[in-house]
Amino acid sequence: MNDFSLGIHALVSGPLVWDVELLNDALSSTVVDQELLFEILVDRSANDLWRLTIEYKFKYGEDLSVKIRDKIIGKNEQMFLITLNSQRPPDTTPLDYAKVDYDILALYQAGQAKVGTDEKVFFEILLTRSRPHLTAVVSGYGAKYRSLTKVIKSEFSGSMRDCLLFAVEGVKPKRDRQGIWRDAKLIDKAM
């Protein structure tokens, strides 16, 4: 299919079915397209993730989390499964500043404060919290320690680094806090 045909197919299919087809394409190739996976899965509400898994099972007869386990190994598998199974609270949930402070300290202790990195702490916080919570964590971490973006760049590599940066860039307080700036940069990069 050429680009025009793909565009028409995406419009006719609708966003849910199109995202499910892209997920299947990313997981069906010999080399898993992890960038496409995190662009689809990260920054979604719990309801959106639930709909994606239901539609994936309906369309392909397989459980999405099982497919991820089969195709991805190690810490990257853990990262995607935490994202897929997250029960991210709605963005309208009131901010719990004690939890924000706890998350800032947990990220510091899991990264900068020690030799090596506890990736699971980064995954649990950056991939499962609401946007307002993450915005508060990102700005609070930067005010207390140093830029969380710089920490991620120094502590992680490859798909893990890109996925966590994708999550953080979408909630940066200097930007729109909805991922529009991040998405515009990705479109510009693609062109």
75 burial via Cβ count (<10 Å: 0-12, 13-18, 19+)? middle
- Picking from 130, 50, 132, 128, the residue whose alpha carbon sits closest to that of residue 90 is 130
pLDDT over threshold 90, residue 49: yes
- Mean pLDDT (whole number) for 117-136: 94
CB 10 within 8 A of CB 20: no
CB 113 within 8 A of CB 155: no
d(CA 121, CA 156): 13
- Mean pLDDT (whole number) for 77-105: 94
pLDDT over threshold 80, residue 174: no
Residue range 63-86, pLDDT digits in tens: 999 999 999 999 999 999 999 998
CB 156 within 8 A of CB 117: yes
Q: What is the pLDDT of residue 43?
A: 84
Mean pLDDT of the chain: 89
Q: What is the band of 190 on the pLDDT scale with cuts at 50, 70, 90? A: low
Q: What is the pLDDT of residue 175?
A: 59
- Mean pLDDT (whole number) for 112-140: 92
Question: Which contacts qualify for 100-103: CB closer than 8 Å, 24 or more apart?
Answer: 100/133, 100/136, 100/137, 100/140, 101/140, 103/129, 103/133, 103/137
| Residue 184 CB contacts under 8 Å (≥ 6 apart), including other chains | none
pLDDT over threshold 70, residue 114: yes
Both tokens of residue 8?
């028409």
The percent of residues above 90 in pLDDT, for the chain, comes to: 68
d(CA 88, CA 80): 14
Helices vs strands, H then E, count in the chain: 12, 0
